[in-house]
Amino acid sequence: MVTGYGAVTPLGHSVNETWTAMLAGRSGIDTVDAIDVTDLEVRIGGQVRGFTPGRYMPPTVSRRADPYAQYALTAALEACEHAGLVVDDGLAPRIAVIIGSGYGPVSSIYRAANRLRDKGPRAIGPFTQVTTAMDSAAGEISMRLGTQGPSRAQSTACASGADAIGAGMRMISSGEADIVLAGGADACVTTVDLAGSGNARALSKRNDDPTAACRPFDARRDGFVMSEGAAVVVLEAAEVADRRGARALAELAGYGASSDAHHWTAPHPEGRGACLAVDAALRDAGITGADVDYVNAHGTGTVLNDATETAVLRKVLGDRVTQIPVSSTKSMTGHMIGAAGAVELVASIQVLRTGDVPPTINCDEPIDPDINFVPHRTQHHERVRIALSNSFGFGGHNAALVVRAV
């Protein structure tokens, strides 16, 4: 069961702020101003603006923690508050933490490398090897909350957040943990990452019109938009949630993962790996494509991904895909890499709870006119019981999650 969630995104510093902005169709994409982008070909991104770490953590933590870890910790604190979860001596050994990230603490890594170059070895702090590690977000959460179960990192590119949540589900199913704080975080709106992804021709170059840059499933799409953020959900065994008196928000019913074994940046042209992941998630949930009521698509806005994902959905869901809403919230948040799958699962749960389906903004000319991509404006659908959330990443990593209304 999912009993709580938290989020930090380019749309807001909480789930409520993010969800409200999604329903309004508001874009969080703008010209990047936190770094010097003068010499870059791509100068737009989805930044977490106005974030003040001191509101959520003591200075000793904010000084050492990379922004990606700060976002993850903030989302975890909101998730625990939302779930009414207080970690005590009885619960602590049975609570695990899994945080997915595609890039990890890149700002801290770049900063340390520059300091070593400019000032020499004595300028490198004693915590550098810890704070520049991929598991630093999970470690910060565990130490802040006092959890004593397993804590670890998950890294599968853009599928990292979804895979972390799926791994948390498996951990509970196997009896390894009773409660798991699972999610994803990334803060890779950096000079290096904008330059590299831009040189790979993966990013949109609409520098003059940032809010229109991310155009999932639109005929004029030209790439994704690099963004940052985090989301964490509280997963609990049903009997543990009942014993705590916790309210279930949704049931995490299915998880599937696969690899394309094809190309570092391009999806398999026939979507074989993606089909395997979605099929596995549906099978795990004990349903078929005919049971799905909503799809939160991976929907990056790249030429190859959107075409491939559309074909995958037609193959896996059959005629059902033309009867239900399919939207990409990345059109508003941009691509938060490791955080994307976690944020999009939260959005999917909100759809189950409210019937409100956030739009795919900028979808002016849908590449498949028979599919309802929820263009421009939020739609309300009376019966949405099962949602599918897709995450497909560089390196051929694929993950799919199925959530059911309770």
In the predicted structure, residue 269 carries a pLDDT above the cut 90 = no
| Inside any domain, residue 225 | yes
CA distance 229 to 90: 32
| Inside any domain, residue 192 | yes
**Domain boundary pick from 201, 224, 244:** 244
Residues 168 and 142 in one domain: yes
pLDDT digits (tens, 9 = 90+) for 28-51: 999 999 999 999 999 999 999 999
Taking Cα atoms as reference points, which of 108, 102, 100, 107 lies closest to residue 153?
100
Mean pLDDT within 47-76: 96
| Inside any domain, residue 140 | yes
Residues 41 and 186 in one domain: yes
| Inside any domain, residue 250 | no
Taking Cα atoms as reference points, which of 220, 378, 182, 208 lies closest to residue 306?
220
Hey, which residues are catalytic here?
158
CA distance 201 to 96: 38
Residues 23 and 108 in one domain: yes
Residues 360 and 337 in one domain: yes
pLDDT digits (tens, 9 = 90+) for 386-400: 999 999 998 899 999
Task: Determine the number of helices (DSSP H) and then strands (DSSP E) in the chain.
Answer: 13, 14
pLDDT digits (tens, 9 = 90+) for 298-325: 999 999 999 999 999 999 999 999 999 9
pLDDT digits (tens, 9 = 90+) for 86-114: 999 999 999 999 999 999 999 999 999 99
Which residue range forms the structural domain that includes residue 217? 2-244
pLDDT digits (tens, 9 = 90+) for 160-174: 999 999 999 999 999
193's tokens: 């990452």
Residues 54 and 196 in one domain: yes
If one counts the domains in the chain, the total is: 2
In the predicted structure, residue 251 carries a pLDDT above the cut 80 = yes
**Domain boundary pick from 217, 244, 271:** 244
Torsion angle of the four alpha carbons 370, 290, 295, 134, in this order, in degrees rounded to the nearest 10: -140
CA distance 160 to 65: 20
Q: What's the alpha-carbon Rg for the chain, to the nearest Å?
A: 20
Residues 285, 251 contacting (CB under 8 angstroms) = no
Residue type for position 139: G
- Which parts of 269-361 fold into alpha helices (H)? 272-285, 303-317, 330-333, 340-354
Q: Specify the CATH number for the domain of residue 114.
A: 3.40.47.10
DSSP 94: G
| Structure confidence at residue 336 as a pLDDT band (50, 70, 90) | very high
Burial class (CB in 10 A: 0-12, 13-18, 19+), 156: buried
- Which parts of 190-297 fold into alpha helices (H)? 191-199, 238-244, 272-285
Residues 199 and 57 in one domain: yes
Residues 225 and 301 in one domain: no
Q: Given this model, what pLDDT does residue 394 score?
A: 87
| Inside any domain, residue 108 | yes
Output the pTM of the full model.
Answer: 0.97
Residues 267, 308 contacting (CB under 8 angstroms) = yes
| Structure confidence at residue 267 as a pLDDT band (50, 70, 90) | confident
Q: Determine how many CB atoms are found less than 10 A away from the CB of residue 33.
A: 11
Tell me the pLDDT of the chain averaged across its residues. Answer: 96
Residues 36 and 127 in one domain: yes
32's tokens: 């990047």
Q: Given this model, what pLDDT does residue 78 score?
A: 98
pLDDT digits (tens, 9 = 90+) for 177-204: 999 999 999 999 999 999 999 999 999 9
CA distance readout (Å), 12 to 200, 218, 228? 29, 26, 11
In the predicted structure, residue 231 carries a pLDDT above the cut 90 = yes
| Inside any domain, residue 251 | no
Residues 21 and 106 in one domain: yes
CA distance 65 to 342: 21
Residues 211 and 323 in one domain: no
CA distance 18 to 12: 5
**Domain boundary pick from 200, 220, 244:** 244
Residues 327 and 240 in one domain: no
Residues 117 and 23 in one domain: yes
| Inside any domain, residue 249 | no
